[in-house]
Amino acid sequence: MPISKKFLDTLAEKRDTALSGGGVQKLQKRRERGLMTARDRLDALFDRGTFQEIGLHARHETRGFGMDDKDLAGDGVVTGIGFTDGRPVATFSQDFTVAGGSLGRVHAVKICEVMDYAEKAGMPLVGFNDSGGARIQEGVESLSGYGQVFNRNVRLSGVVPQIAVIAGRCAGGASYSPALMDFIIMTRTEAVMFICGPEVIRAVTGEETSLQEIGSAEMQASISGNVHFVAENDAHAVEIVRDLLSYLPSNNMVDPPHQFENELTIAPQQELDALVPESAREPFDVKQVIETIADDHRFLEVQRDFAQNIVVGFGRIGGIVVGFVANQPMVKAGSLDIDASDKGARFIRVCNVFNIPLVTLVDVPGFLPGILEEQRGIIRHGAKMLFSYAAATVPKLTVIMRKAYGGAYLAMCSRDMGADLVLAWPTAEIAVMGAEGAVSVLYHQDLKKAENRAELATRLATEYREQFASPYLSAGKMFIHDVIEPAETRARLALALRSLLAKRELRPSKKHGNIPL
Ligand code: HXC
């Protein structure tokens, strides 16, 4: 006997209601404005026909304040599991057409359910945030809901990759949950994120501001550093999610998706020899070095607009997924300041928890000198670089291209900080401080008296470089393992990465280290 039509009709009707979110008209309006709906975003993310929804018929419990007669479809969030490029991914996608995507108790239960699923089965979590935050009418229940989500964000941290898309107007908890995840992608056109909106700021401090000023994608990507990628629109945001996932393992117990053949043939790259100017004072674009070294010139830069004096991101070398960390001589001469240290350290830790080898490209004159830097705590922030490199147990390969001075030499993963292999180009300069600084400290009396001060300083600096900063000096003492032609870099890194694939490093057991925060 086939199932009675009555049952099937009821199911179809229930499904239709739940699938229509805040109503067909509202969904249509969004599409007319060029925005995707909560479900469109999932359609774009997942391989066709692979999304299995969990909680379609979940219902809200909100009462009072105009909510009595409302039927909030799915309680404002779509949750489930789908497959992206054949790999399972847990997801939630908030529906702004349903009570502004605000988070009530059932909405939170649904998100927690897929987070637990992600933990159990070891798959990434991708969350599309489009929400006014805690649902005001549910009071402390919605706060508790956020508590449950935050708690799980932390529990999942370092276990499975967590990627947040800020796809709309995200207030309060809808900003804090993403902040606890590994990556935030934000759309340029529609999205804002903030904790206290303009009205609250005006009421408390009297300051006049706008949503754009406190929460736009540009601001969050370049000034606050909260956002890792800015997307032009929803479709682009999904593209970035997929690209990011292609470099990340499903969980911390497996390797990232390396793509290598058994045979390794890598030709020398003469273009690298031409790329770096001989004079240490002349800047070059380190992104060109990365793109030359990376397979197919593909480099997914992370936090491109923030602290541009350091460049971080993912690529492959000889098929092996790596995280690049590189000083950028084009910005602040590649020095390490507070923001660069925060950015670098965070990225190093992401790579370490997800078994991604680190390739560090060094051209650093030192930590950025300055009153504000000292007052704002360059000691504490710079220490994050030292801490995260020393704590990382993934393969660590360092190439010293030009300057590697002082504490910044150590903070860019020197041999003593645990690098497995340190290579230097013939243009490398490694010393306790830059030549000009060293000369001014050691010879300040002579320089004061000298008739032709500038000429003497230049001569002494050249002598200093030759005597104290030569890479052969460091190689002689085994601080670096070899001096190589730039053209050989990619081949040498590829070989080393291959040989380090099974690297094991055990440390004393502890709850966790105490990184300076
Ligand atoms: C209940 C909400 C809501 C909320 C929006 N809505 N936010 N309902 N709780 N938090 C509803 C609106 O009443 C409206 O319902 C619909 O969603 C669309 O909202 P609009 O305001 O019309 O949209 P828009 O003009 O685009 O503005 C979006 C917004 C704004 C900027 C997000 O709605 C807003 O400021 N909301 C409040 C943000 C906030 O303060 N949230 C609490 C944060 S505290 P109708 O029925 O008219 O369509 C928090 C604590 C968590 O999250 C813990 C943090 C650590």
Does residue 25 fall inside a structural domain? yes
End-to-end CA distance of the chain: 66
Which of the following is catalytic: 21, 82, 133, 173? 173
Is pTM beyond 0.85? Reply is yes
Q: Is residue 70 scored above 80 in pLDDT?
A: no
Give residue-wise pLDDT tens across range 399-450.
999 999 999 999 999 999 999 999 999 999 999 988 888 888 998 888 888 8
Going by alpha carbons, the residue nearest to atom 9 of ligand 1 is 135
Same domain, 134 and 41: yes
Q: Provide the CATH number for the domain around residue 152.
A: 3.90.226.10
Same domain, 240 and 278: no
Same domain, 240 and 282: no
Which of the following is catalytic: 408, 428, 435, 457? 408
More confident residue, 466 or 236: 236
Does residue 118 fall inside a structural domain? yes
Same domain, 228 and 321: no
Same domain, 168 and 280: no
Q: Is residue 175 scored above 70 in pLDDT?
A: yes
Same domain, 284 and 199: no
Q: How far apart are CA 61 and CA 54, in angstroms?
A: 18
Q: How far is the CA of 103 from the centre of ligand 1 (A)?
A: 10
Would residue 513 show up in a list of annotated catalytic residues for this protein? no
Does residue 263 fall inside a structural domain? no
Same domain, 300 and 389: yes
Would residue 172 show up in a list of annotated catalytic residues for this protein? yes
Give me the DSSP letters along 33-54.
Answer: TTPPPHHHHHHHHSPTT--EES
Going by alpha carbons, the residue nearest to atom 33 of ligand 1 is 132
**Tokens matching residue 431:** 């010393």
Q: Candidates 107, 130, 136: which one to mutate for ligand 1, based on the most atoms within 8 Å of Cβ?
A: 136
For the chain, how many structural domains are there in total?
A: 2
Count of CB atoms situated within 10 Å of the CB of 437 = 18
Give the binding-site residues of ligand 1, using a 6 Å CB cut-off: 99-100, 102, 132-136, 143, 146, 169, 171-173, 176, 197
Same domain, 310 and 238: no
Going by alpha carbons, the residue nearest to atom 6 of ligand 1 is 100
Q: Is residue 63 scored above 80 in pLDDT?
A: no
Q: How far is the CA of 98 from the centre of ligand 1 (A)?
A: 11
Would residue 173 show up in a list of annotated catalytic residues for this protein? yes
Q: How far is the CA of 231 from the centre of ligand 1 (A)?
A: 23
Does residue 313 fall inside a structural domain? yes
Q: Average pLDDT of 20-35?
A: 93
Same domain, 367 and 495: yes
Same domain, 312 and 383: yes
Percent of the chain with pLDDT strictly greater than 70: 99
Domain housing 33? 5-245
Q: How far is the CA of 133 from the centre of ligand 1 (A)?
A: 6
Nearest C-alpha neighbor of 244 from the set 181, 187, 300, 312: 300
Written in H, E and C, the secondary structure of 295-360 is HHHCCEEECCCCCCCEEEEEEEECCEEEEEEEECCCCHHHCECHHHHHHHHHHHHHHHHCCCCEEE
